Amino acid sequence: LGSVDKCTFCLPRLEKGLLPACVEACPMHARNFGDLNDKDSIVSRLLKEATSYHVLKQTDGTLPNVYYTQDIPT
Ligand code: SF4
The ligand 1 site (C-beta within 6 Å) comprises 7-10, 20-22
Going through 1-74 in order, the beta strands assigned E by DSSP cover 53-54, 68-69
Q: What is the pLDDT of residue 22?
A: 95
Read off φ and ψ for residue 22, nearest 5 degrees.
-70, -30
More confident residue, 70 or 23: 23
pTM for this prediction: 0.78
Asked if the model's pLDDT at residue 4 lies above 60, the reply is yes
Q: 73 pLDDT band (50/70/90 cuts)?
A: low
Whole-number mean pLDDT of the chain? 89
Task: Specify whether the CB–CB gap between 35 and 43 falls below 8 A.
Answer: yes
> pLDDT tens across 34-65, in order?
999 999 999 999 999 988 888 988 888 888 88
What residue segments make up the domains of the chain, in order of their start? 1-33, 34-74
CB-count exposure of residue 69 (10 Å: 0-12, 13-18, 19+): middle
Among 5, 9, 31, say which to mutate for ligand 1: greatest number of ligand atoms within 8 Å of CB: 9
